[in-house]
Structure 1
Amino acid sequence: MEWQQSEILNQPGTRPQDNVELNAATIVNMDGNTETWSWEKAYGGRAKGSDSIQNGIIQLINLKSPERHFVIGEEGATWKPFTFGAREGFSTIPCWNHWPVAQLPNEGRVAPAADRPSSACVGTLYPVKHKTEKPGMMMGRNLYGMTAKPAAELAILARSWNFAPELTTKSSGFENMGYNKNQRAYLLRKTGETQQLEMTIAASAKSPVSNLAVIVENWGQKPVVLKLNGKPLSEGKDFSIGIRKDLIGNSLLLWLPVENMSKVDVELIEK
């Protein structure tokens, strides 16, 4: 069963190859090894000179733009190329025009011309399936985003999500609820009147920290000063803070664009 597709949307007058490179997909594993797939011929194949890799759980779509779309799966996810929908003389990449605009009741209509908006798909990353408490319901999760970085560098983000380093807090008055993979964030709850939160993230090569996200429930709405490894940072320039209001209390949302493979100390202080 297919859980998701990475669709390339084409404006009228364009074909898939106008919007994505013929070497359309790069697959990466968590060691940073890559293989590239080419659509010089219909339905794709491993590009010349590209070696096969094991355990590829990251898909990067090589759009003709500075930012490219990626999907990161959990350990055990699998990637497969799409095997129908290419039309000889139009595109070697599978392409359909029953969606996203036409909404025609003929799902699977292969695009014969570039006369209307169309969608294309080179492959699908199949997520790991998790059982849930509800009968007949399964859960799958992937991490989606855009990047201008080389494909191999996505392995760091993948390891930070799949093998998140442990976060500990030195401050009293906070409950540490651990890492929430669905939110890609560490969850804490303020339980006292403490105005300072000191955290240590035990990052390593196997469990790096990448684009740190922390949610502190019941924080309030006071602004904060942030220090990284003892150095003060500037809000907006070096990190972002948000306040989420709900019926329980205001939660502090922290995003810190740091990437490290060794211990990181973060300190939040109410102004």
Structure 2
Amino acid sequence: MADYHELREIRARNPERVAEAAAARRRRPLLGDRQLMIIAADHPARGALGVGARPLAMGSRVELLDRLQVALARPGVDGLLATPDVVEDLLLLGALDDRIVIGSMNRGGLHGAVFAFDDRFTAYDTATISRMRLDGGKMLCRIALGDPATASTLEACGRAITELAGNGLVAMVEPFWSQPSGHDLSPEGMIRVINVAQGLGATSAYTWLKIPVVADMERVMEATTLPSLLLGGDPGDTPDLAFAAWRKALRLPGVRGLVVGRALLYPPDDDVAAAVDTAVTMLGRADGDPATP
């Protein structure tokens, strides 16, 4: 595990270096020739620290940073999705040059809380994403018909989508049809929530979707023409099954790549590099052409 003494000293004595690092970061185009591989690390800000049977797997920030730096350095990895604290640590460590960076925006609906569906925007806002020269903002959009907090979440997501688009920035929307017991991951549930999510905001010109791999993904992907990324989630003790499902779904029209966090950062054997490399081999051309080797 690395010694983060210098990072801690900068944090305490020279906070202005965060903005300086953001201004100096080398950027890259969003889409290249191949589908995207984005590493997600915004779970801790919602108190969701567990991976498989390890309830506090993501609780150590220095271990998380170690794992993120390994993942981001692997060939074929395009970028990061994270909250400001993680993004700023990695900026100061010099790990985000030539990487796409998506800022996570609403982390207020804490995992397991009675206000879980009151998903307030407590992290990035559009002005900061633009000022920090990030590439877009991600928002969780859980729709619970029995919870009145859903209405304010929908309104906030719509406003953020409009603001991001006004700045020419991607709005990455992660929608779920939900209830306190969990998400509706049936094909019908995903089709329903995709149709609501893609209608949010004054324009969908810069909207991307981040959706789980569920049954009958062919039918699910017919619900949208928007660019879509597949989320990885926690595969538990069956990563091989998860990888097989991703491989198949990546070949569907409109799928532009993967956004994966825990499954690659905390694999069962703790070999982050090998897990990332396996996922990268699944990627096809940027247009999802299945003929790609």
TM-score, normalised to structure 2, is 0.25
Name the larger-Rg structure. 1
TM-score, normalised to structure 1, is 0.27
Select the structure that is richer in strand. Answer: 1
Select the structure that is richer in helix. Answer: 2
More RCO (CA 8 Å, sep 6+): 2
